[in-house]
Structure 1
Amino acid sequence: MVSLNAIVGKFFGNPNDRKLKKYAPRVEAINALEPELEQLSDDALRARTDAFREQLANGAKLDDLLVPAFATVREAAKRTLGQRHFDVQLVGGMVLHEGDIAEMKTGEGKTLVATLPVYLNALTGRGVHVVTVNDYLAKRDAEWMGAIYEFLGLSVGCILHELNDDQRMQAYGCDVTYGTNNEFGFDYLRDNMKYSTSEMVQFGGRPWELAGHYFAIVDEVDSILIDEARTPLIISGPVEDRTELYTAVDAVIPHLEEDDYELDEKMRTVTLTEKGNEHVEELLKKEGLIKDDGSMYDVENVTLVHHVNQALKAHTLFQRDRDYIVKNGQVVIIDEFTGRMMEGRRYSEGLHQALEAKEGVKIQPENVTLASITFQNYFRLYDKLAGMTGTAVTEAAEFADIYGLGVTEVPTNKPMIRDDQHDEVYRTFEEKINAIIEDIKDCRERGQPMLVGTTSIEKSEMLSARLKKLKIPHQVLNARYHEQEAYIIAQAGVPGAVTIATNMAGRGTDIQLGGNPEMRLQMWLNEQREKGKEPSEEQIAAQREKIFADVEEKKQKALEAGGLYVIGTERHESRRIDNQLRGRSGRQGDPGASKFYLSLEDDLMRIFGSDRMDGMLQRLGLEEGEAIVHPWINKALERAQSKVEARNFDARKNILKYDDVMNDQRKVVFEQRIELMQEDDLSDTVRDMRHQVIDDLVAKHIPEKAYPEQWDVDGLKDEMQRIFGLDLPIADWAAEEGIADEEIRERLIKEADSAAAKKVAEIGPEMMRHIEKAVLLQTLDNMWREHLVTLEHLRQVIGLRGFGQRDPLNEYKTEGFALFETMLANLREQVTGHLMHVSVDSAPSEQELEMAELPEMSAHHVDPLTGEDEFEREPEMAMEGAEPAGPARGKRGNGGTRAQPMRNKPAGVALDPNDPATWGKVSRNAQCPCGSGKKYKHCHGKLS
């Protein structure tokens, strides 16, 4: 039966086809320019860049320049790379320029496609960011495609782990900047912890009107914006000493009775009962941790509730010598599976500190979030966002809903002839593995290259072990070492090759039948250089000819054997990941085949009713080793996968809803910081804050419509003394006949302004302006960090509101806003108090006024597939005498600027402390190479 949609589509075409037709006239116009541009000299072609920029300056729009600019890039690619953009690649470039996602099959040249919109948008001078999934691809693409941009007069930068801040700023200052999603995100967070706009690397030293997040193209957009969006980027650091709080809370727990809490040892949960809440509240009031008229669940006590819950867990769920031991005055975790000590590992969110308080050992500082952002909210900062991938259509709804991105399927350059076979379903896992191994043997004998996809590293290694026993040669990819991975997968198209890969592996490199000749040539060159030989041009040319001939011969054999055969060892939760695996085969019109092998013991089959199917297969008399193959099974599995996809989408959307609350506040704080940093004179801001503090004090102590005898005059006097250092006769003023709160307010403001003016006169206007700026920014940062911790604690307990029939998200929004307002009020009070108490004796020196150092920081991004922190598993840099240089490698200070003095010294020159010419480029926050012990910025690098 033909669906109504199919009938309508026949008459009108589907939306994708209609969109593609819209691009056809522009493609023809670009092709028409080709003969004319071929006649131009290199210099004349390069001069077109300046001409385009001039047109933009004179009011032309980017769309007006699209046809000539794309034609220019195509000609430059022919001259530099020997590659000509296909017509479908021009279409992909137009999709990206319009701020949408171009779905292009593997092998269709997405890397080359990006050069078209990147060049066009970089003409604005605002900087275009190209985002990749790993450092290897960022470096490779920047060098490879950089040849086109540099030929046309554009600058290209690449953000890598090991760069310091000066190098990062230089890279961001380029017309085109390549880097990973993690690097871009962390640089944004660190930039907003800096104390001067001139230190913010992402602005690249541009004029302020050209700075900001202009245009980003995200490669493998589904991986970055969907898979990795499940976990936020986090920068953490040690919080101030809270030993007294942990100790005081710990002292409360032993006084609880058994009916004060409900313990579920199986689920490892413990919660206070209603009686327990009242009992804990009483105990906390006795300890002075809660005001007598306060409640444990007042919004300002969120952090206290969190610590009570952690202390309760420490006492009830964790047992000494079972879950942990105390060794050398430290609490050491015991691994529940191996029973081994896990030295160096600590529980997070204050739990480890609660255990330390329980055992009476020294309490180590807690690491807390200093800054965090989700990829959703980072990439929504860009004025224009686009993406490219081989698989996006299945997630089109999420891209549209979260990012406002449409998905356009760009047709392949040559027809796709891959044979996608029906799934084979076996009863047991063992039967399935045996069938896969038989298939591998058959392909090896016929010389057909194979790619075997698994869903985890463990399953890859298990299959590899089975093949080793049978002495079947193969390669295993584990997604840990991206450069080696690219070399391996580039040769996976050799006849008879067997390559095992997880779904994470092999991105960014095509599997070419017969092998990748360029990669083979590069490997040969590397081998020669490792032996200390430098081949001549003639030797390289001869080797190239030999390799290309060998690859062509092997390609014919692979084609005759049926092309690349892709096997999936089980279905993934997402259809998109399965399609990515299938998409490795059948590139550029090559033949190929794909098949998935399943068993009823697979995770997806287990979750979706394999028991019923097992019974049915037994009744049908399915013999051991036999498989059932039917299109209905494929359809049922796709339905199951789409259910899981919908569930995962809801989970990601829910995370985003909560993060949006923080994001609104984050944007306000970050924008305010930038405004403060750009101002030289903040005296007006400081005065407004001073007046607001007085307004708040008057409103609190002299309530509206209250009689004079109800005024809290003594309280107001004490607060003015505490905050402003002013001893004022407020009681006498209040005793005056007919005086109103407004008049008292005006007198207080007059006295405070007069005292502030005296401070300025004592210290000096210029120095006072410096002090105001430093105090404002540092206090704002400290309070924002504390606020983030409080929001995190609120988030952890807010779900309990659901039991009271209240929407946790709405409660989080309301209380989050109340906490933000409290933070701003505290900020005004602390800044005012600090500035009113500064004196000539306590005023900092000019050196001390240089903005405070950022706290020690470490970066984290948990891989949603493995649960591992990506930056804990990064191999450390083998650099003698230097700390890890990457911003996300281990602990960092100063936002990734702690470069060592020797890092950039001239090659082959020994560092001489007495000769600055031998020092090279020194980071301003590094120790001065002269040996003074001072920071470079306070010594030889001091600005005159």
Structure 2
Amino acid sequence: MLGIGTLTRKVFGTPNDRKVKVTRPLVEQINALEPEFAALDDDGLKAKTEEFRKRIEGGESLDDLLPEAFANCREGARRALGLRAFDVQLMGGIFLHQGNIAEMKTGEGKTLVATFPAYLNALSGKGVHIVTVNDYLAKRDAEWMSKVYAALGLTTGVVYPQQPAAEKAEAYASDITYATNNELGFDYLRDNMKSKLSDMAQRGHNFAIVDEVDSILIDEARTPLIISGPAQDRSELYVSVDRLIPELTEEHYAIDEKTRNVTFTDDGNEFLEQQLHARGLLPEEQSLYDPESTTIVHHVNQGLRAHKLFQKDKDYIVRGDDVVLIDEFTGRMMSGRRLSDGLHQAIEAKESCTIQPENVTLASVTFQNYFRLYNKLAGMTGTASTEAEEFSEIYGLGVVEVPTNRPIARKDEDDAVYRTGREKYEAIVEAIKEANAKGQPVLVGTTSIEKSESLSKLLTDAGVPHNVLNARQHEKEAEIVAEAGKIGAVTIATNMAGRGTDIQLGGNVEMKVFDALGADPEANPDEIRARIEAEHADEKARVLEAGGLFVLATERHESRRIDNQLRGRSGRQGDPGRSAFFLSLEDDLMRIFGSERLDKVLSSLGLKEGEAIVHPWVNKSLERAQAKVEGRNFDIRKQLLKFDDVMNDQRKVVFSQRRDIMEADNLTEIVTDMRDQVIDDLIETYMPPKTYADQWDTEGFYAACIEKLGLDVPIIAWAKEDGVDDEIIAERLTEASDEMLAEKAAAFGPETMRNIEKQIILQTIDQKWREHLLTLEHLRSVVGFRGYAQRDPLNEYKTEAFQLFESMLDSLREQVTQQIAQIRPMTEEEQQRMMDQLRAQQAQFEAAAKDPGDAVPVAEAAAAGFDENDPTTWGNPGRNELCPCGSGKKFKHCHGRLA
């Protein structure tokens, strides 16, 4: 008997079926327009683009234009690439335009699908960003699809690391821009550290289509993008702590694998304290629990995490003298990405690499908050439905499963569970040999570099030729994946998430066509495609006869989505194929989540050596375990986002204020408001309300006026006058201050004065924001302990972060007022002296360039008449050099301060 839910689905269809059904009339409309657009010549397609733009200016909406725009784009793609989009690809494009995630199986042509909503939304002139997971894919897709956009009269740009500023600005100014999520996020942060509008690269956040959306918006959502600068060097401390960690025994610490955390036990703390005293790292009279010990405790904790939680060739690899992190979801190297809070340095000490200095945060943003800046967001992936709740709750994105162009013919086998890892790997090698003997291509999925290399050794010993794709073979990625569907190919891959290159049976036709067109741009795409397809037809037929691609997974991942991504590599476009998961009770997921019960079941069944249990119940049990882990990870990300939202609100205010300041021509009003507020604060401090004149701190007030306002005014005398109150004093200070600023403006010239004000305000905002970020980091690290006092850490964080932000704004006003009060123009004599020094230095450099032997070093030349008490004899010290006066401070903090 059918359940109510099943019966309802049979009668009305699923919600997903209904969404798909709604798009069918639109698709039919686009198909009906096809003959009309096919009849246009090449210039006619471009003319249509101009016509659409004018209609948008005239008030038509993008939805009104959708059928015609999609028909025009389909024709452009057919002429430029020889590809005619299927109906399901048009459906995917419609869902993307509506701001959804289109879940499309591997091989359904997502790269082409993105061109339809990108073209339609680019017609508004506000730009479209297409986001990919790595630089190779961004460049490849941009180069490939730019032919389509060019045929339609649109420009295409690509953004990549270390790109020249002018080229980057041009890429962002293009109609459609391809970029990685990292580069977009970093450019957003860099733009908000610039001091001129003309230096900013991005022109807004209109519409983004995120490829491999689950990888970017979920897997990487926990990792903030941070622009940082070097802090104090503590390399010796890391090395000293690293020598101590190997002496710990198992009773000294406890590892919780579920939460990926490690802590010292009471015995461990006692042992640690003795060792730190013995090695001189902790003073004899100081305990680990003293507030002064915070730094050393932090270093020891990070050393313990580096040794016990981070494994070489799984979490990172050592490349030369560098520790390079590995993305746990894609298996790719993350060059340039570093762990924060001293953890990366602890791993460098463990691996005896050069320890890079720790960094302080200059600016940061999470992917969650960066992508929520866009007016409209959409995404594509082969696997999103398992995370639909998170996409909806955090990004407001719906997930729609787009039907495949042809029915899926892949056979998914039940998981095979073995008692030990040894038995599992023996069975895997046998399964690969069996498939290889009949010419069936095999894709073997592993979870780490270490496991992929140990399996590679087993296959080599068994005489099976194969390719290995992991972080070490990063550069050959596309080439290895493109060849993985050939007859008899065996490919071992670490995490196939987001590889971006199809595994096609008999080899990848698209890549061959793309390479051929790149070698000969004048060639006819249709002819090239016909020739390459004919060459591949024979090999593809043999692979089909052998059963298509066999995907063999050596382990279950924590996330069902990653398993589905691997499985989805087989059976593309209706091809036959099969997938199987080989597991053992020693696998991480099985060991951490309930292997004891399974072990008892397997024992009671009396399994022999090499035998496996295969049953749908096992699959269901594993899926439940994975769902629990996914739920826990979602809760962690949700909690992190709540904390980051507090900083994000403040970030948006600061970045918006910075932009307003850069756009403003005259900041005198802002400077005046800041100064008036400082005057009010000074009066409140030194002349508190409801007090008598003899209770005022007039001497302190006088000193503060000189320091904060640059005004030497007779405060003490004013306070003794009859009838003087706070309003009169405020009025007199404002008048004196106005007079002083008017004199400065006259001396500098109005335009120079405006530039000085702008630079001082921007520099001060940046400095204060950096200090504020550091304070928030510290607050975040300790606020969790408030839970022990029955107080909600998030509410505590919100309250204190708001108070800190207000305090930052007060400090900002004070510093800007103080710096503007202290600037003064140089006298003619000082300007002449500086010019003489510059000329003397130039002469020295020119002499050195002609004959290095006769040149007097600049430092010696300056030293000839040097007097530490006379700044005019100091030459031109660097901002970060020690001050020549002998104070021991940097020049910028001593005589080089704005004064």
Give the alignment's TM-score, normalised by structure 1: 0.75
Question: For residues 70 and 521 of structure 1, do their structure 2 counterparts lie closer, same or farther at Cα, with a shift above 3 Å needed?
Answer: closer
Task: Give how far 1:525 is off.
Answer: 10
Select 1:238's aligned residue among 224, 230, 236: 230
1:414-433 equivalent positions in 2, closer than 5 A: 414-433=406-425
| C-alpha distance after superposition, 1:632-661 (max 9, x if no partner) | 111111110000001111111122111111
Counterparts of 2:514 and 2:473, CA distance in 1: 18
1:766 aligns with 2:755: no
Answer 1 or 2: higher relative contact order, Cα 8 Å, separation at least 6.
1
Question: For residues 773 and 536 of structure 1, do their structure 2 counterparts lie closer, same or farther at Cα, with a shift above 3 Å needed?
Answer: closer
Segment of structure 1 superposing worse, 2-11 or 448-457: 2-11
Task: Give how far 1:307 is off.
Answer: 7.8
State whether residues 217 and 385 of structure 1, in contact with CA within 8 Å, keep that contact through their aligned partners in structure 2.
yes
1:79-98 equivalent positions in 2, closer than 5 A: 79-98=79-98
Task: Give how far 1:6 is off.
Answer: 2.0
| C-alpha distance after superposition, 1:401-438 (max 9, x if no partner) | 11110101110111112111111111111111111111
> What's the counterpart of residue 882 of structure 2?
none
State whether residues 103 and 407 of structure 1, in contact with CA within 8 Å, keep that contact through their aligned partners in structure 2.
yes
State whether residues 362 and 770 of structure 2, in contact with CA within 8 Å, keep that contact through their aligned partners in structure 1.
yes
1:393 aligns with 2:385: yes
1:701-712 equivalent positions in 2, closer than 5 A: 701-712=686-697
SS in 2 for 1:229: coil
Question: For residues 537 and 110 of structure 1, do their structure 2 counterparts lie closer, same or farther at Cα, with a shift above 3 Å needed?
Answer: closer
> What's the counterpart of residue 939 of structure 1?
none
Counterparts of 2:178 and 2:489, CA distance in 1: 33
| C-alpha distance after superposition, 1:745-796 (max 9, x if no partner) | 2222222222222222232222211111111111111111111112112211
Question: For residues 552 and 316 of structure 1, do their structure 2 counterparts lie closer, same or farther at Cα, with a shift above 3 Å needed?
Answer: closer
State whether residues 485 and 505 of structure 1, in contact with CA within 8 Å, keep that contact through their aligned partners in structure 2.
no
> What's the counterpart of residue 811 of structure 2?
826
1:85-234 equivalent positions in 2, closer than 5 A: 85-203=85-203, 212-234=204-226
> What's the counterpart of residue 731 of structure 2?
746
Counterparts of 1:492 and 1:341, CA distance in 2: 27
> What's the counterpart of residue 562 of structure 2?
577
| C-alpha distance after superposition, 1:236-285 (max 9, x if no partner) | 1135x799xx99x9xxxxxxxxxxxxx977766699x9xxxxxxxxxxxx
Tell me which amino acid in the other structure corresponds to 1:418.
R
Tell me which amino acid in the other structure corresponds to 1:646.
G
SS in 2 for 1:508: coil
Q: Larger helix proportion, structure 1 or 2? A: 2
Counterparts of 2:628 and 2:343, CA distance in 1: 36
Select 1:729's aligned residue among 714, 720, 734: 714
Tell me which amino acid in the other structure corresponds to 1:396.
A
State whether residues 765 and 812 of structure 2, in contact with CA within 8 Å, keep that contact through their aligned partners in structure 1.
yes
> What's the counterpart of residue 686 of structure 1?
671
> What's the counterpart of residue 892 of structure 1?
none
Task: Give how far 1:446 is off.
Answer: 1.6
> What's the counterpart of residue 440 of structure 2?
448
Question: For residues 8 and 341 of structure 1, do their structure 2 counterparts lie closer, same or farther at Cα, with a shift above 3 Å needed?
Answer: closer
State whether residues 268 and 317 of structure 1, in contact with CA within 8 Å, keep that contact through their aligned partners in structure 2.
no
> What's the counterpart of residue 846 of structure 2?
none
Select 2:769's aligned residue among 779, 784, 788: 784
> What's the counterpart of residue 862 of structure 1?
none
SS in 1 for 2:363: strand
Aligned-pair identity in percent equals 60
Tell me which amino acid in the other structure corresponds to 1:199.
D
SS in 2 for 1:201: coil
1:281-360 equivalent positions in 2, closer than 5 A: 309-311=294-296, 313=298, 349=341
State whether residues 448 and 565 of structure 1, in contact with CA within 8 Å, keep that contact through their aligned partners in structure 2.
yes
Select 2:701's aligned residue among 709, 713, 716: 716
> What's the counterpart of residue 394 of structure 2?
402
State whether residues 69 and 120 of structure 1, in contact with CA within 8 Å, keep that contact through their aligned partners in structure 2.
yes
Tell me which amino acid in the other structure corresponds to 1:149.
Y
Alignment: residue pair count: 761
SS in 2 for 1:723: helix
| C-alpha distance after superposition, 1:88-143 (max 9, x if no partner) | 11110010001110000111111111110000000011110000011111111111
1:22 aligns with 2:14: no
1:785-864 equivalent positions in 2, closer than 5 A: 785-841=770-826
Counterparts of 1:501 and 1:306, CA distance in 2: 48
Task: Give how far 1:710 is off.
Answer: 3.5
Question: For residues 716 and 270 of structure 1, do their structure 2 counterparts lie closer, same or farther at Cα, with a shift above 3 Å needed?
Answer: farther
Tell me which amino acid in the other structure corresponds to 2:822.
H
State whether residues 497 and 565 of structure 2, in contact with CA within 8 Å, keep that contact through their aligned partners in structure 1.
no
Structure 2: state its 5+ residue gaps: 238-250, 255-261, 270-289, 308-312, 324-337, 347-354, 835-899
1:78 aligns with 2:70: no
SS in 1 for 2:613: coil
| C-alpha distance after superposition, 1:680-702 (max 9, x if no partner) | 21111100000011111122223
Question: For residues 316 and 230 of structure 1, do their structure 2 counterparts lie closer, same or farther at Cα, with a shift above 3 Å needed?
Answer: closer
Counterparts of 1:576 and 1:347, CA distance in 2: 25
> What's the counterpart of residue 470 of structure 1?
462
Tell me which amino acid in the other structure corresponds to 1:138.
A
State whether residues 474 and 498 of structure 1, in contact with CA within 8 Å, keep that contact through their aligned partners in structure 2.
yes
Counterparts of 1:662 and 1:764, CA distance in 2: 39
Segment of structure 1 superposing worse, 653-662 or 66-75: 653-662
| C-alpha distance after superposition, 1:357-412 (max 9, x if no partner) | xxxxxx99752111111100111111110000000000000101111101011101
Question: For residues 341 and 535 of structure 1, do their structure 2 counterparts lie closer, same or farther at Cα, with a shift above 3 Å needed?
Answer: closer
Task: Give how far 1:164 is off.
Answer: 1.1
State whether residues 118 and 128 of structure 1, in contact with CA within 8 Å, keep that contact through their aligned partners in structure 2.
yes
State whether residues 416 and 589 of structure 1, in contact with CA within 8 Å, keep that contact through their aligned partners in structure 2.
yes
Question: For residues 809 and 455 of structure 1, do their structure 2 counterparts lie closer, same or farther at Cα, with a shift above 3 Å needed?
Answer: same
- Name the Cα RMSD after superposition: 3.6
Tell me which amino acid in the other structure corresponds to 1:192.
N
| C-alpha distance after superposition, 1:207-259 (max 9, x if no partner) | xxxxx1100000000001111112111111135x799xx99x9xxxxxxxxxx
Tell me which amino acid in the other structure corresponds to 1:112.
L
State whether residues 448 and 563 of structure 1, in contact with CA within 8 Å, keep that contact through their aligned partners in structure 2.
yes
> What's the counterpart of residue 38 of structure 2?
38
Task: Give how far 1:672 is off.
Answer: 0.7
Select 1:662's aligned residue among 639, 647, 653: 647
Task: Give how far 1:146 is off.
Answer: 0.8
> What's the counterpart of residue 284 of structure 1?
none
| C-alpha distance after superposition, 1:562-616 (max 9, x if no partner) | 1111111111000000110111111111111111111111111111211122122
Counterparts of 1:148 and 1:691, CA distance in 2: 58
Tell me which amino acid in the other structure corresponds to 1:780.
I
Question: For residues 783 and 270 of structure 1, do their structure 2 counterparts lie closer, same or farther at Cα, with a shift above 3 Å needed?
Answer: farther
State whether residues 489 and 506 of structure 1, in contact with CA within 8 Å, keep that contact through their aligned partners in structure 2.
no
Task: Give how far 1:742 is off.
Answer: 2.8
Give the alignment's TM-score, normalised by structure 2: 0.79
Counterparts of 1:845 and 1:124, CA distance in 2: 52
Tell me which amino acid in the other structure corresponds to 1:808.
P
SS in 1 for 2:378: strand
Segment of structure 1 superposing worse, 7-16 or 454-463: 7-16
Counterparts of 1:459 and 1:316, CA distance in 2: 28
Question: For residues 562 and 343 of structure 1, do their structure 2 counterparts lie closer, same or farther at Cα, with a shift above 3 Å needed?
Answer: closer
> What's the counterpart of residue 600 of structure 1?
585
| C-alpha distance after superposition, 1:894-943 (max 9, x if no partner) | xxxxxxxxxxxxxxxxxxxxxxxxxxxxxxxxxxxxxxxxxxxxxxxxxx
State whether residues 133 and 181 of structure 2, in contact with CA within 8 Å, keep that contact through their aligned partners in structure 1.
yes
1:368 aligns with 2:353: no
1:625 aligns with 2:610: yes
State whether residues 149 and 156 of structure 2, in contact with CA within 8 Å, keep that contact through their aligned partners in structure 1.
yes
> What's the counterpart of residue 294 of structure 1?
none
> What's the counterpart of residue 492 of structure 1?
484
Task: Give how far 1:505 is off.
Answer: 5.7
Segment of structure 1 superposing worse, 647-656 or 123-132: 647-656
Task: Give how far 1:735 is off.
Answer: 3.3
Select 2:547's aligned residue among 555, 562, 576: 562
State whether residues 195 and 677 of structure 1, in contact with CA within 8 Å, keep that contact through their aligned partners in structure 2.
yes
Counterparts of 2:376 and 2:102, CA distance in 1: 14
Question: For residues 781 and 242 of structure 1, do their structure 2 counterparts lie closer, same or farther at Cα, with a shift above 3 Å needed?
Answer: farther
Tell me which amino acid in the other structure corresponds to 1:186.
F
Counterparts of 2:731 and 2:74, CA distance in 1: 71
Select 1:697's aligned residue among 679, 682, 696: 682
